[in-house]
Structure 1
Amino acid sequence: MFLKTNFILLGAVALFLFAGGAVLFIFGWKSRAPYPARLAIQDAFIELIPAVTAAEKMRGLSGRAELPENHGMLFVYNRPGRYGFWMKDMRFPIDIIWLSKGFTIVDITPHISPDSFPKVFRPKEPAQYVLEVNADFAEKHHLSIGDSLKPIY
């Protein structure tokens, strides 16, 4: 009797695991990160450093000596907003590119100097993603408001 009960219980667990796996297979497992690893622009790729947690967003690029060419920090927010950014503890100038949920440029704040601290910069339109890149990146790559960047996951 004890062996029969264990066998039935083991069979029920196996059936449950199989059914769960089948549901995940049929409806798809969301395996990609909620943010891209790179962004494609007209003539280049931007390798992204994600800033997702509150601590990562607060730290940002502060204290770094430099940002490699064609790299950027992508600040990821749950919903669009007019998030404020400043240049606290920054050591090099940057462009801030403000992006919609669909990665369309809604604003660009070019060539922000570390000396601008404590001024706070905000987009003219709400943005869900904020991209910090080396100064003059937007001009060098002819980026404009309304341009779309292609996320690569």
Structure 2
Amino acid sequence: MLTLCLSLVATMTAAQCARDAVTLRGDWGQARFSVEVADTAATRARGLMYVEEMPALSGMLFVYPDPRPVSFWMRNTLIPLDMLFFDATGRLTRLHPMARPRDETAIPGGQAVQFVLEINGGMAARLGIAEGDVMRHPAIGSDAAWSCPAD
């Protein structure tokens, strides 16, 4: 029975590190978001353009091959978004709340961004997400602030 329970816990923990999910953790607790991953130039360029609605705990994770300066805009984006910018370790370095739909003003993320999570506008404030929080996802390398468990 103990082996079964330990196996179930290991399975549940591994499921938290699925490609289509991001888990955030901070002083406020933790939350899991279902995500679409944008890890090619084409998918990053399209982003969430033309999406008319998105379930509450959903989003898009932009993955870059290495840390870099990034800037986003909301051209052709129809819903307000919170943009969360993370470094190579998965630590939240900048949060831009409530980006306005269709706004073409540049939203800079910083100089060493490797991951950007876009979620529904206002969700970060509702949950208490703040700079310094950490993200867990399989795309984060071995120097992750919050690692996925080994298989």
Q: Tell me the TM-score range normalised by the shorter chain.
A: 0.7 to 0.9
| Counterpart amino acid of residue 37 in structure 1 | D
Q: Shift in Å at residue 74 of structure 1?
A: 0.5
Alignment equivalent of 1:132, drawn from 105, 108, 118: 118
- Tell me the distance in 2 between the aligned counterparts of 1:122 and 1:133: 17
1:21-45 alpha-carbon deviations (Å, 9 max, x no partner): xxxxxxxxxxxxxx83212223321
Q: Following TM superposition, where does structure 1 have runs of at least 4 consecutive aligned residues deviating by more than 4 angstroms?
A: none
- Tell me the distance in 1 between the aligned counterparts of 2:120 and 2:49: 13
Aligned counterparts, 1:45-84, within 5 A: 45-84=32-71
Please tell me whether the aligned partners of residues 106 and 125 of structure 1 are also in contact (alpha carbons under 8 angstroms): no
Q: 1:52 to 1:124 in 2, by over 3 A?
A: closer
Where does residue 39 of structure 1 map in the other structure?
Answer: 22
Higher strand share: 2
Where does residue 148 of structure 1 map in the other structure?
Answer: 134
1:118 corresponds to 2:84: no
Question: TM-score, normalized by length of structure 2?
Answer: 0.72
- Tell me the distance in 2 between the aligned counterparts of 1:141 and 1:125: 26
1:29-70 alpha-carbon deviations (Å, 9 max, x no partner): xxxxxx832122233211110001111111100011111110
Unaligned runs of 5+ in 2: 1-17, 139-147
| Counterpart amino acid of residue 125 in structure 2 | E
Where does residue 85 of structure 1 map in the other structure?
Answer: 72
| Counterpart amino acid of residue 100 in structure 1 | D
Q: Which structure would you say has the larger Rg?
A: 1
Q: Shift in Å at residue 125 of structure 1?
A: 4.5
Q: CA RMSD in A?
A: 1.7
Please tell me whether the aligned partners of residues 107 and 125 of structure 1 are also in contact (alpha carbons under 8 angstroms): no
- Tell me the distance in 1 between the aligned counterparts of 2:37 and 2:23: 16
Question: TM-score, normalized by length of structure 1?
Answer: 0.71
Structure 1 stretch 65-74 or stretch 40-49: which is displaced more?
40-49
- Tell me the distance in 2 between the aligned counterparts of 1:53 and 1:123: 18
- Tell me the distance in 2 between the aligned counterparts of 1:97 and 1:48: 13
Please tell me whether the aligned partners of residues 70 and 110 of structure 2 are also in contact (alpha carbons under 8 angstroms): no
Higher helix share: 1
Secondary structure at the aligned position of 2:119 is classed as strand
Identity value in percent: 27
